[in-house]
Structure 1
Amino acid sequence: MVCLPTALWRTLLILVTIATAVVGILLIVIGAYSLSVIGMRFTKLLRVYVNLILLLLGILILIISLIGFFGATRKGPQTLAIYSGLSLFICLCAISIGVVAFLMRQDTAHYQDKVAELYNNVDADSLLAIDELQRNLECCGPDGPEKMEVIIPSCCDVE
């Protein structure tokens, strides 16, 4: 069995942490973009916080990868031990998120029903949330304006 030099292992670790940091940055961008498009008001009404979870997970991954990067470049064994423990934790979280997403994949009808309820609900928060969402997505109603009981002002902007 051939042993690789320590410098090569350190270079590989630096490359892996840079790739991990890029993934963290991508998650931050996706979470921030979805939060800006969907809006916080709509997120609160549906109680679906995927955009916030992506944003926070991206920040956490970026911080962990920076710890690994500094541990690899400064040759700090304690920092590398912290990095490996946090990386293991993130891997376990990713596996559990994947399992939950797999188990909830058929639950999309529930969220469609919740959105339909919001469209038929005439309270102020629901109307503001839907108005904000429709302005951002440039749409009108879940299936077009014909099936809406209450026409929201953002529908007039689209047509």
Structure 2
Amino acid sequence: MESCGMNVIKYILFIFNLVFAISGIGIIAAGACVLADVGEFGHFVEGRIMAPPIVLIVAGAIVFIIAFLGCYGAIKEHYHILIAFAAALLIIFVIELAVGIAAAMFKNDFSMAMKDTLKESIKNYSETDRMAWDNVQKKLECCGVDGPNDWTPANGFMLSFPSSCCKQDPQVICRVGDDASVYQMGCFSKLEMRVHKGATVLIGVGIGIAFVEIAGIILACCLAATIKRETDHK
């Protein structure tokens, strides 16, 4: 006959895994939102900055699958499946922790790499660069890397700014010296804020899911130990 304690742990773990499966969907959604938000300006954003949300999407998909493994192991009281479930959660936890630490350590490097990419793009200014600049300047309401001075004749440009720098009608040509009609904030600052905002979302979701994973590991190990004791006593 099953002990009352094992029944309680079993059903708590089952309910936990249902919540865990839903959280897996939430993780995928959060990673996808950040990827779409930052990825829109992929021309200026290095691939390694896109890695954390991609890792989070993959982790969310794995979490969703593993949650069903935990549900099955709990209901069937299968010792080995529960141990495999706890081990899988531990591996995901370690991967998420490693990604989080790497992202925190290289945060300044990411910013500097993005600024270098922006400067290189404005220096080359091919047709692809022009389209990318028009996109970022219109959507983020910014101008140049650090400000509108990046488009001045001193840097090899004409006496007018790109139309995407204009606050008013984009068909109106904004001329150098007409500061009132031009966005004054540089695109680097705006992009950096966008990336940091996405990073904050990812860190928040990562910390939340980490606590859930630790709880799942503890519950699975407790149930597995109880099942082993019950089996040994038979």
TM-score by length of 1: 0.71
Partner of 1:20: 20
Q: Is the 8 A contact 1:39 1:132 kept in 2?
A: no
Q: Distance in 2 between matches of 1:67 and 1:132?
A: 45
Are residue 102 (structure 1) and residue 125 (structure 2) matched? no
Helix, strand or coil at the partner of 1:42: coil
Q: Is the 8 A contact 1:145 1:155 kept in 2?
A: no
Q: Is the 8 A contact 2:73 2:82 kept in 1?
A: yes
Q: Distance in 2 between matches of 1:153 and 1:94?
A: 43
Q: Distance in 1 between matches of 2:21 and 2:75?
A: 15
Q: How does 1:60-139 map to 2 (within 5 A)?
A: 60-117=62-119, 120=122, 121-134=124-137, 137-139=139-141
Q: Distance in 1 between matches of 2:113 and 2:74?
A: 44
Quick one: structure 1 residues 63 and 158, their matched pair in 2 at CA, closer, same or farther if it must change by over 3 Å?
Answer: farther
Q: Distance in 2 between matches of 1:126 and 1:4?
A: 67
Q: Partner letter of residue 73 of structure 2?
A: G
Quick one: structure 1 residues 4 and 118, their matched pair in 2 at CA, closer, same or farther if it must change by over 3 Å?
Answer: farther
Quick one: structure 1 residues 75 and 154, their matched pair in 2 at CA, closer, same or farther if it must change by over 3 Å?
Answer: farther
Aligned length: 156
- The higher relative CO (CA closer than 8 Å, separation ≥ 6) is in 2
- Sequence identity (%): 19
Partner of 1:38: 38
Q: Distance in 1 between matches of 2:72 and 2:137?
A: 44
Larger radius of gyration: 2
Helix, strand or coil at the partner of 1:141: coil
Q: Distance in 2 between matches of 1:42 and 1:27?
A: 22
Aligned-pair CA distance for 1:98: 2.8
Q: Is the 8 A contact 1:68 1:79 kept in 2?
A: yes
Q: Distance in 2 between matches of 1:45 and 1:106?
A: 14
Q: Distance in 2 between matches of 1:152 and 1:14?
A: 59
Aligned-pair CA distance for 1:90: 0.8
Q: Partner letter of residue 32 of structure 2?
A: A
Aligned-pair CA distance for 1:106: 3.5
Aligned-pair CA distance for 1:86: 0.8
Helix, strand or coil at the partner of 2:87: helix
Aligned-pair CA distance for 1:139: 2.6
Partner of 1:51: 53
Aligned-pair CA distance for 1:87: 0.8
Q: Which digits, 9 at most, give the CA deviation of each residue in 1:106-131, with x for residues without a partner?
A: 43431442353265141344444444
Quick one: structure 1 residues 109 and 8, their matched pair in 2 at CA, closer, same or farther if it must change by over 3 Å?
Answer: same
- Structure 2, unpaired ranges of 5+: 152-156, 170-234
- Structure 1, unpaired ranges of 5+: none
TM-score by length of 2: 0.52
